[in-house]
Amino acid sequence: MSISALQKARYEYQPKVPAILTEKLDNIAIEFGKATESVADQADLKSLFKNTYGKPLATFKKGANPDVSKQLNVGIILSGGQAPGGHNVIAGLYDGVKKGNKNSKLYGFLGGPSGLIEGQYVEITDELMDAYRNTGGFDIIGSGRTKIETPEQYAASMETAKKMDLDAIVIIGGDDSNTNAALLAEKFVEAGAKTRVIGCPKTIDGDLKNEMIETSFGFDTACKTYSELIGNIERDANSAKKYWHFIKLMGRSASHIALECELQTQANYCLISEEVEAKKMTLRQITDDLCKIIAKRAETAGNFGVILIPEGLVEFIPEMKTLIAELNDKMALKADEFNKLVSFAEKKDWLKANLSAASYETFASLPESIAAQFLADRDPHGNVQVSRIDTEKLLAMMVEGRLAEMKKEGTYKGKFSSYCHFFGYEGRCAFPSNFDADYCYSLGFTAFLLIASGVTGYLSSVRNLTAPAAEWLAGGVPLTMMMNMEQRHGSKKPVIKKALVELDGEPFKKYAANRDKWAVNTDFLFPGAIQYYGPDAVCNATTKTLQLEHQK
Ligand code: FBP
């Protein structure tokens, strides 16, 4: 296989780790804090997680660990969407496992959680691992979105673990996958099986975070990659001065990615879904706000600019949210009927008869090409796939229409021409930044220490991330501590609470304090490409979100 010069150089990169992880293994001991409680619904969760609820926080400190060299069989799963650094979590875990005992084995389940259910795996060897160190992607073993939820799936997972004599399984995933990790950990203990389950916080969306998990891995690299592209577009816009660029940014639900990219690039406007929801803004109001900025810039800066749009926006606009909820319900309940409809006109008639009058009106007001996207296949959780809805095109079309009206009214004198972009898959498999390479390797190594300390139902945790890596703190957070009960598919289910953008949080406040200025002026910032080698300030800075959140 031929490799690029950067790939070759990155193979050699030695990730920086917390000082405690550089100690001799038998001198790293687990230290427990006080028992924990879930974020809400304590009684329900206590009864669902009889064996694993309320465990104490764990931190690694200097001290004796006599069991660390025991021979182990460990399995690893990559779950959900790709995020830069996944290979390094595996590398950290692999190095820990082999350092503990060279006869220990690490197996990678193929294609995500389905690999565990179906018993499909490969053994990770030196040769295989070394070909993926410090690289992006999840291609070493592949990922998948299968949810382990039925009794048959649990039974099959246990059967695989038994056959492979697994001491532990590490699940690298977001909130849903780690909810699965918590349930699996409980089931194993309940069944008297020896297999322990440890999670690792992954998702570019940045919404798996709390007091103990400062950020999910991949957020840093993905935001830096998108910000480089946005900066390039800003420069192009400012050179040609003829286009308004509408850029949709990935992030299934929370607007962390859009907000971070805004802080890195100072684009003219950034919609924040959480604010739209809090202010109950309609699509018309959002359009009007954008038109005001465009009209103002036409008089001052010119007929160009950049607008950032979070991927999940449509689900936060009240009338759209109701429409999507009704569509999800009706399309699921009357699936046989709906699936027989062929043309858009037939589907529209069916919706007229099945949706509420208000939702049908919202649906009918959308351009046909966009409306059709609302009817596309749902994801395995029954959700509309927001990455497939061209929200950026919808807004550009709405703005164009409204500006034409404003021209007639005499309130707009500019010339409007738009360009639409969607940045998502471009950033999920980038070479991890130094931060993500270091963070992920440390998370993987810490996962090994948790396994070697005999705990189960924990999420690997590395904290104090704005300090130099040597000062980071390694430990574990009980998964039940991050859970609450939420309505899913008509019943209450235990889930890890998603962290949305907080409107009283420092990152949003920073944007809110500057947005009027950035909207009218051309205060663009050009972050450039991720740098792997060079001065510390250029290569090792964390995200603005993390810096602002730590400044409190
Ligand atoms: P995870 O939450 O699994 O990390 O995935 C996040 C994400 O990248 C979202 O930003 C996006 O909406 C979604 O995955 C796209 O999913 P898919 O890769 O299945 O198209």
Among 103, 183, 51, 63, which residue's Cα sits nearest to residue 449? 63
Give residue 376's pLDDT.
Answer: 85
Which of 95, 167, 175, 205 is catalytic? The answer is 205
Amino acid occupying residue 289:
D
Residue-wise burial string across 145-157, b where 16 or more C-beta atoms lie within 10 A, e elsewhere: bbbbeeeebbebb
Is there an atom of ligand 1 within 6 Å of 392 CB? Answer: no
Among 513, 506, 514, which residue's Cα sits nearest to residue 551? 506
User: Is the pLDDT assigned to residue 381 strictly greater than 70?
Assistant: no
Average pLDDT over residues 168-186: 95
What separation in Å is there between the alpha carbon of 428 and the centre of ligand 1? Answer: 9
> Worst-scoring range by mean pLDDT, 260-264, 307-311, 379-383?
379-383
Residue nearest to atom 6 of ligand 1 (CA): 81
User: Confidence band (pLDDT; 50, 70, 90) for 380?
Assistant: low
Q: How far apart are the C-alpha atoms of 471 and 465, rounded to whole Å?
A: 8
What separation in Å is there between the alpha carbon of 142 and the centre of ligand 1? Answer: 14
User: Is the pLDDT assigned to residue 491 strictly greater than 80?
Assistant: no
Contact 338, 297 (CB under 8 A): no
Average pLDDT over residues 346-351: 93
Residue nearest to atom 18 of ligand 1 (CA): 81
Is there an atom of ligand 1 within 6 Å of 387 CB? Answer: yes
From the alpha carbon of 379, which atom of ligand 1 is closest? 19
Name 109's bridge partners. Answer: 121
Average pLDDT over residues 303-310: 98
Give residue 65's pLDDT.
Answer: 87
User: Is the pLDDT assigned to residue 257 strictly greater than 60?
Assistant: yes
What separation in Å is there between the alpha carbon of 216 and the centre of ligand 1? Answer: 14
Average pLDDT over residues 330-344: 89
Q: How far apart are the C-alpha atoms of 485 and 493, rounded to whole Å?
A: 5
Is there an atom of ligand 1 within 6 Å of 147 CB? Answer: no
User: Is the pLDDT assigned to residue 379 strictly greater than 80?
Assistant: no
Asked whether the whole model's pTM tops 0.85, one would answer yes
From the alpha carbon of 386, which atom of ligand 1 is closest? 12
Q: What does the block give as tokens for 175?
A: 């909130």
**Helix (H/G/I), strand (E/B), else coil: 40:** coil
For residue 54, what are the contacts with CB-CB under 8 A and spacing of at least 6? 35, 36, 37, 38, 46, 478, 480, 481
From the alpha carbon of 83, which atom of ligand 1 is closest? 4
* 349 is an active site residue: no
Match 């891995």 to its residue by tokens: 217
Average pLDDT over residues 109-123: 97
Is there an atom of ligand 1 within 6 Å of 393 CB? Answer: no
Average pLDDT over residues 445-473: 97
Is there an atom of ligand 1 within 6 Å of 174 CB? Answer: yes
Average pLDDT over residues 533-552: 92
Give residue 470's pLDDT.
Answer: 97
Average pLDDT over residues 118-144: 97
Of the chain, the percentage scoring pLDDT greater than 90 comes to 89
Element (H, E) at 332: helix 318-333
Among 134, 127, 47, which residue's Cα sits nearest to residue 84? 134
Q: What are residue 63's phi and psi, to 5 degrees?
A: 165, 170
Residue nearest to atom 14 of ligand 1 (CA): 81
Is there an atom of ligand 1 within 6 Å of 248 CB? Answer: no
- End-to-end, the C-alpha distance of the chain in Å comes to 48
The burial class, CB within 10 Å (0-12 / 13-18 / 19+), for 195 is buried
Return the beta strands (E) in 86-212 as ranges: 105-109, 121-123, 168-173, 196-201
Is there an atom of ligand 1 within 6 Å of 207 CB? Answer: no
Q: What are the pLDDT digits (tens) for 188-201?
A: 999 999 999 999 99
User: Is the pLDDT assigned to residue 157 strictly greater than 60?
Assistant: yes
What separation in Å is there between the alpha carbon of 174 and the centre of ligand 1? Answer: 10
In the predicted model, what is the mean pLDDT of the chain? 95
Give residue 552's pLDDT.
Answer: 57
Q: How far apart are the C-alpha atoms of 76 and 111, rounded to whole Å?
A: 11
What separation in Å is there between the alpha carbon of 175 and the centre of ligand 1? Answer: 12
Is there an atom of ligand 1 within 6 Å of 389 CB? Answer: no
Is there an atom of ligand 1 within 6 Å of 208 CB? Answer: no
Is there an atom of ligand 1 within 6 Å of 218 CB? Answer: no
Residue nearest to atom 10 of ligand 1 (CA): 251
Cβ atoms within 10 Å, residue 526: 15
Is there an atom of ligand 1 within 6 Å of 81 CB? Answer: yes
**147 or 118: which carries more pLDDT confidence?**
118
User: Is the pLDDT assigned to residue 285 strictly greater than 90?
Assistant: yes
User: Confidence band (pLDDT; 50, 70, 90) for 551?
Assistant: confident
Residue nearest to atom 11 of ligand 1 (CA): 252
Of the chain, the percentage scoring pLDDT greater than 70 comes to 99
What separation in Å is there between the alpha carbon of 252 and the centre of ligand 1? Answer: 6
What separation in Å is there between the alpha carbon of 303 and the centre of ligand 1? Answer: 34
Q: What are the pLDDT digits (tens) for 505-528?
A: 999 999 999 999 999 999 999 999
